[in-house]
Structure 1
């Protein structure tokens, strides 16, 4: 029976090993096939890069291919890296192989060890090959990026024929006339015959479509305008209302014309009234119209040229209308250039040069019109207040823009038409990006402030739900703004890179490298891993706080656990949660703790003395939580400081004095020095009240009065009865001492005061005197002193008589 079980065990083990080996072999074969294919693609890419006649389209396609190859190789490499740890764990569980001369291990274990070593060796080899593929891909991507930058630079800074050269005009103008004549003929032919009949037949369909579009959009626009737009009922709108109205106005002005334009295009496209080439032109015209509509809606929303009360930008009415006209002019120039670029595709170089030259001149003229108005760049005028901190910055920006704008026509006339066009386009796009970013940042900041504003209902609910103090709310507001603004600014920077020529593939590679890791000196830095670690750390800390809140608000009130024990449990949960959060974060980051241990060991001698007090206080804090010589709420006396324990922290214990001052005493001081705790075991306390009466008073009567006063007070305990002690004979009084116990030591001062009032009243009723200190002074040699005083008086009298004579 035993032999049969062993055979079954060996059979199952061999079957599992065989299955694992088969799966590993199948995966290795698939990876080997992928490596072969990727190496072939890299060889082909190297040949393509060596070709000097490769155009920009092929470069873009090659970049996409290499980026895809790199992504796939990284994914396979990550999968292999994930397989190494389980194999190493299994191999470590088997232990080292038997030494020479030692008994041999079972054949099944030897086979398992051999299988694991072979798998690890295979994975290691494939990982190295994948690393080589990724390295070659990165090199080719760098070469490709350098080639594209070099071509772009050559294109921009290569000097051509000046647009003012006579041959440009002699060939370009007649060709332009021919294009217009051809357009006229095509339009006449398109509107003739079947097209006219179709348009006439579809007029009802087109009208119905427009009516439906207007029937939906018009009431919606009116409702949005009344609900969220510029209303006359609001005399002085807040910034939140300004932002809301701007968004509403922009959406309405974008929705209505866009809906009508798209409806007309869809009707015409449905009836197939044009060829493929004509449809391309129609799509281009549609894009141009949408550009104009979008820019106009945005400009009206931000500048409000006809309604200064609802204007976001700090401009007066005249300047707002002026800037709005310039923005619309730029939108029309870019839209017309987009249509002309599509319509004039395939024309001669001379006509293309003329088109770019005139478009550049129009852009430069509109930008100069924006620059020559000085009050637009004076923030003190626009805000009607003195602003000096940014005045120099705006002057520098205006001067730089002036130089760049003047370079547009100058560079074009000098023959650098591509540079001229690049400057004009990039200046406009950069300015638009700046305005858009500023508006989005302001909108997000206002929304966050509105959500956390303690004066609004939403803000009150959020603050109450999160249990935020005023300082906590301000801190959360700051960090939320910082996080949102960081995301917006990073997006704006990426958009700026795209505007100034960075390719989307390059940015994707940069983002991938930053997010998923790049090597610096052999250390892998990964933003994704860092974010995951921060998220895990924050999540565990949040769960810890929720657990502490549950204990404090739900569990502890339903128990009879002592307050000090409650605080110790709550603090222990916090420490454990922090340790778990830190451990998860460190393990997620992949920090090699063995290296940190070596560094810590090397520095332990140096930092040991510096951290000695910190460690001492930390350990003392743990001892305080475990031994509990004091707890939160106790009345303690340490040296010359006394008060109530408010919190036992990691380094120090917070004590609130009777004057409401906070005293932080190091935990080590509480452990090493004598500690007086009035409420350690219970809150019972004793009142000790000294009383003095005059000599000759009836001492038994005094004792009786004191006991009656103490028994009459409701806070004095009857179990531990009050007592009176005759302490002795003083210089001026007979000294007694009243001793009484109270259940709450916090009331000792109040009970002492009440007893003093009652004792004073009782002594007055019983004519018992409480003397004040008295002393008799006896002079020696009194006769001599009297003679001296008499002589002084006599001399004084003689002097007065002399004065009178």
Structure 2
């Protein structure tokens, strides 16, 4: 499911692993706004903490009060810069962490004092009744408790104040970020701005060239160059070789290694080796930059551009790698998105490569613009061509995605989920590609960049997730010895991909302009947990509870299995009792596991008594049937009116009891179908148990003979037949009864007790066969009913025609069997039947 969803949402536009590095280096997102701000900014881990402690180790609330007041004043004025707000927020966060720690002080002492006061009991209404020593002791303990709780309450108040101030700062910074995006700037279509923008860019390049000329050949440069010449030369050679040829060598190596592998292991080897297509060129770029630094020829602006080259190279080579992994090459087995033709595949890969180039140019231009502090007009004009090209590439990619959807999804499946997702992605890609350049042309360059580049990186993350899923499938197939088709149907690769996708959510949040402090604040809230009564449920509490409960549940199931297979079968207990004991052990074990897990996690059950009471009311009204069935299931296991293997009849359903669970009981009918009955029906309804306690049961077999037959001889023959059957018990003996005179026969009944009533049908069949054989030998006649019908006017039964016979011409006599029903006779009488007679 996850793989199909990601495969539809992907456009391989960039190598996002490198993009994350770029964002961390740049400190800005695609819209030019701050992207990552540390929670506490330290320098070489030597910056002192922002909070101040007193001599006894408690927080200095005077210093805290001055800081809080200063923050409140800054928020009221609203003129503090983003840097000042970030610094203030970092200090507030340190104070808040200190207050959170202070809230847990004296927790053991406070708990002990509360327990002591509870032990003394409640204060009586008439205080004179209570002994003086108990009153004095309660007063002393209460005073100690108030003294111990005072620092905690002060810390809670300070924590709340710090938390509110942090939220206000975050709200103000988000508001500023939104205003910056929606700010209308100069339009780049104004020709009057082009000349100044070009002049600013040429000026920067000329200054960089001037810096290089001034440095090159200077005494200091020559000295550094001669001193580090060997290592500089080696780095230059290595850098150029890796940058130019390394990617080709890695691809050849991957092809060679894949040919020597079979099955899913080819995918593992191919993926691992393919990473060198990005790593090797990046190493070459770093080697070249280090060689330039050693040579000392880089000026100020040259250094700015050189620092941006690793990020730009990561985008270029990363996009090439992702293009091959997603769109593949001719005959590749790792293709994620199929294209209808080789031309379309080449176009898609070219679009991805150009996207990487555009992102690289954007990184270099952003670095240079920040260093040169270009005016807003110059930035708009210089950025506009990049935004337009990115928009065009997105429109083309949207068209290719639409072709992929049409190629892989037939028209009869056009309404399913996969088709809808693919059409949605292709439509959004096309819309973003159109909207971005239009916004930039109007003057919203920052808003345009905030749409285009985050969208590209988002699709890049999805593409990377899909590629990683294929890698997980290949690893699982290699470990299990399965091919790729079988491995894709396994659960573990999907779970692994799902976990990785969840871990990528913070990365997507950063792409779309979220600040690092927003994520850390969310993490703080999650780790703080939720309050339930006096108990606080945190992720740590949940993990402890889950681990202990899983261990207890596993041990319970192992004990049940041991009882059911090894211990109980060796006893004289019947199968029903064995199942009841096994089920009871399971219920008790699960209850104890939950109780131990709750206690070990530190949850106070008394604190949730009110909540449990409210839930019990809801259970009483909304889940009463489920609770009734649960209680009924326990009653069935304790009283055991029915057991597994019993033959029962309830509510018109007859069959064998196969399983008694918590909510229902499963019955297997004689036609091999399962009937699920609620346990409450078995307790409150009428149930017939044919095999309760033992399998002995009685059958009744009716037999009829013609009038005039010797009844004594018939009785003797029937008794001989039933006595001879091996399933009929000797004690009590069977009986043959002459029960009466029927309308058509003399009626007899055979009543016999069988050793196993489960064979009643087969015994009846065998007895009937033997009765038919012996009656033929004895000459006994088994009668069957006949009826004569006299029709006075048979012409009424004929269809109307030109020739009709007179009513007195015909009398008919018709003989029928008992299948001619009373209703048929009544209908015939209405048409002219006047009487009947027995033959």
Given the two structures, how large is their TM-score scaled by the length of structure 1?
Answer: 0.72
Which of the numbers 604, 628, 645 marks the counterpart of 2:657? 645
Q: Which residue of structure 2 lines up, in the alignment, with residue 104 of structure 1?
A: 131
Distance 1:382 1:130 in 2: 64
Residues 777-796 of structure 1, C-alpha deviations (whole Å, 9 max, x = no match): 9x9xxxxxxxxxxxx99986
Shift of residue 122, structure 1, vs aligned partner: 2.8
The reply on whether 1:302 has 2:326 as its aligned counterpart is yes
The reply on whether 1:727 has 2:728 as its aligned counterpart is no
Checking the alignment, whether the CA contact within 8 Å between 2:315 and 2:360 is kept in structure 1 is yes
Q: Which residue of structure 1 lines up, in the alignment, with residue 88 of structure 2?
A: 62
Q: Which residue of structure 1 lines up, in the alignment, with residue 782 of structure 2?
A: 771
Shift of residue 53, structure 1, vs aligned partner: 6.8
Q: Which residue of structure 2 lines up, in the alignment, with residue 319 of structure 1?
A: 344
The reply on whether 1:130 has 2:155 as its aligned counterpart is yes
Determine helix, strand or coil for the equivalent of 1:428.
helix
Checking the alignment, whether the CA contact within 8 Å between 1:35 and 1:130 is kept in structure 2 is no
Which of the numbers 219, 228, 250 marks the counterpart of 1:198? 228
Greater RCO, 1 or 2 (C-alpha within 8 Å, sep 6+): 2
Checking the alignment, whether the CA contact within 8 Å between 2:645 and 2:658 is kept in structure 1 is yes
Distance 1:106 1:480 in 2: 69
Q: Which residue of structure 1 lines up, in the alignment, with residue 381 of structure 2?
A: 357
What are structure 2's unaligned runs of at least 5 residues?
A: 1-52, 791-804, 811-839
Shift of residue 683, structure 1, vs aligned partner: 1.9
Q: Which residue of structure 1 lines up, in the alignment, with residue 142 of structure 2?
A: 117
Checking the alignment, whether the CA contact within 8 Å between 2:472 and 2:493 is kept in structure 1 is no
Which of the numbers 98, 103, 116 marks the counterpart of 1:77? 103
Q: Which residue of structure 1 lines up, in the alignment, with residue 511 of structure 2?
A: 499
Shift of residue 721, structure 1, vs aligned partner: 6.8
- Evaluate the alpha carbon distance shift between residue 254 and residue 201 of structure 1 in structure 2; reply closer, same or farther with a 3 A threshold: closer
Q: Which residue of structure 1 lines up, in the alignment, with residue 459 of structure 2?
A: 434
Q: Which residue of structure 1 lines up, in the alignment, with residue 205 of structure 2?
A: 176
Q: Which residue of structure 1 lines up, in the alignment, with residue 399 of structure 2?
A: 375
- Evaluate the alpha carbon distance shift between residue 376 and residue 193 of structure 1 in structure 2; reply closer, same or farther with a 3 A threshold: same
- Evaluate the alpha carbon distance shift between residue 35 and residue 660 of structure 1 in structure 2; reply closer, same or farther with a 3 A threshold: farther
Q: Which residue of structure 1 lines up, in the alignment, with residue 767 of structure 2?
A: 755
Distance 1:85 1:458 in 2: 60
- Evaluate the alpha carbon distance shift between residue 213 and residue 536 of structure 1 in structure 2; reply closer, same or farther with a 3 A threshold: farther
Which of the numbers 672, 682, 686 marks the counterpart of 2:694? 682
- Evaluate the alpha carbon distance shift between residue 145 and residue 698 of structure 1 in structure 2; reply closer, same or farther with a 3 A threshold: closer
The reply on whether 1:253 has 2:284 as its aligned counterpart is no
Which has the larger displacement, 376-385 or 442-451?
A: 442-451
- Evaluate the alpha carbon distance shift between residue 442 and residue 211 of structure 1 in structure 2; reply closer, same or farther with a 3 A threshold: closer
Which has the larger displacement, 390-399 or 272-281?
A: 272-281
Provide the alpha-carbon RMSD of the alignment: 5.4
Q: Which residue of structure 2 lines up, in the alignment, with residue 145 of structure 1?
A: 170
Q: Which residue of structure 1 lines up, in the alignment, with residue 833 of structure 2?
A: none
Distance 2:807 2:374 in 1: 136
Q: Which residue of structure 2 lines up, in the alignment, with residue 635 of structure 1?
A: 647
Q: Which residue of structure 1 lines up, in the alignment, with residue 834 of structure 2?
A: none
How many residues of Structure 1 are paired with residues of Structure 2 in the alignment? Answer: 721
Checking the alignment, whether the CA contact within 8 Å between 1:302 and 1:311 is kept in structure 2 is yes
- Evaluate the alpha carbon distance shift between residue 275 and residue 201 of structure 1 in structure 2; reply closer, same or farther with a 3 A threshold: same
Distance 1:429 1:230 in 2: 40
The reply on whether 1:595 has 2:610 as its aligned counterpart is yes
Checking the alignment, whether the CA contact within 8 Å between 2:181 and 2:446 is kept in structure 1 is no
- Evaluate the alpha carbon distance shift between residue 211 and residue 145 of structure 1 in structure 2; reply closer, same or farther with a 3 A threshold: closer
Q: Which residue of structure 2 lines up, in the alignment, with residue 789 of structure 1?
A: none
Residues 238-281 of structure 1, C-alpha deviations (whole Å, 9 max, x = no match): xx999868845742422443455556667888x79789978876
- Evaluate the alpha carbon distance shift between residue 461 and residue 408 of structure 1 in structure 2; reply closer, same or farther with a 3 A threshold: closer
What are structure 1's unaligned runs of at least 5 residues?
A: 1-26, 235-239, 463-472, 780-791, 798-805
- Evaluate the alpha carbon distance shift between residue 457 and residue 153 of structure 1 in structure 2; reply closer, same or farther with a 3 A threshold: closer
- Evaluate the alpha carbon distance shift between residue 302 and residue 564 of structure 1 in structure 2; reply closer, same or farther with a 3 A threshold: same
Checking the alignment, whether the CA contact within 8 Å between 2:225 and 2:295 is kept in structure 1 is no
Residues 328-347 of structure 1, C-alpha deviations (whole Å, 9 max, x = no match): 23323333443455567643
Q: Which residue of structure 1 lines up, in the alignment, with residue 46 of structure 2?
A: none
Checking the alignment, whether the CA contact within 8 Å between 1:250 and 1:300 is kept in structure 2 is no
- Evaluate the alpha carbon distance shift between residue 191 and residue 356 of structure 1 in structure 2; reply closer, same or farther with a 3 A threshold: farther
Residues 335-364 of structure 1, C-alpha deviations (whole Å, 9 max, x = no match): 3443455567643535x9646632441232
Q: Which residue of structure 1 lines up, in the alignment, with residue 35 of structure 2?
A: none
Shift of residue 97, structure 1, vs aligned partner: 5.9
- Evaluate the alpha carbon distance shift between residue 193 and residue 547 of structure 1 in structure 2; reply closer, same or farther with a 3 A threshold: same
Checking the alignment, whether the CA contact within 8 Å between 1:653 and 1:666 is kept in structure 2 is yes
Checking the alignment, whether the CA contact within 8 Å between 1:305 and 1:324 is kept in structure 2 is no
Distance 1:446 1:289 in 2: 24
Distance 2:763 2:290 in 1: 91
Shift of residue 752, structure 1, vs aligned partner: 2.7
Distance 1:213 1:304 in 2: 22
Checking the alignment, whether the CA contact within 8 Å between 1:364 and 1:408 is kept in structure 2 is no
Which of the numbers 90, 102, 117 marks the counterpart of 1:91? 117
Checking the alignment, whether the CA contact within 8 Å between 1:364 and 1:405 is kept in structure 2 is yes
Q: Which residue of structure 1 lines up, in the alignment, with residue 4 of structure 2?
A: none
Q: Which residue of structure 2 lines up, in the alignment, with residue 572 of structure 1?
A: 584
Checking the alignment, whether the CA contact within 8 Å between 1:703 and 1:724 is kept in structure 2 is no
- Evaluate the alpha carbon distance shift between residue 627 and residue 502 of structure 1 in structure 2; reply closer, same or farther with a 3 A threshold: same
- Evaluate the alpha carbon distance shift between residue 378 and residue 216 of structure 1 in structure 2; reply closer, same or farther with a 3 A threshold: closer
Determine helix, strand or coil for the equivalent of 1:349.
coil
Distance 2:484 2:724 in 1: 55
Shift of residue 635, structure 1, vs aligned partner: 0.9
Distance 2:212 2:519 in 1: 41
Which has the larger displacement, 579-588 or 630-639?
A: 579-588
Shift of residue 634, structure 1, vs aligned partner: 0.8
Distance 2:684 2:398 in 1: 73
Distance 1:503 1:218 in 2: 39
Given the two structures, how large is their TM-score scaled by the length of structure 2?
Answer: 0.69
Which of the numbers 424, 431, 434 marks the counterpart of 1:400? 431
Q: Which residue of structure 2 lines up, in the alignment, with residue 12 of structure 1?
A: none
Checking the alignment, whether the CA contact within 8 Å between 1:721 and 1:741 is kept in structure 2 is yes
Distance 2:381 2:484 in 1: 55
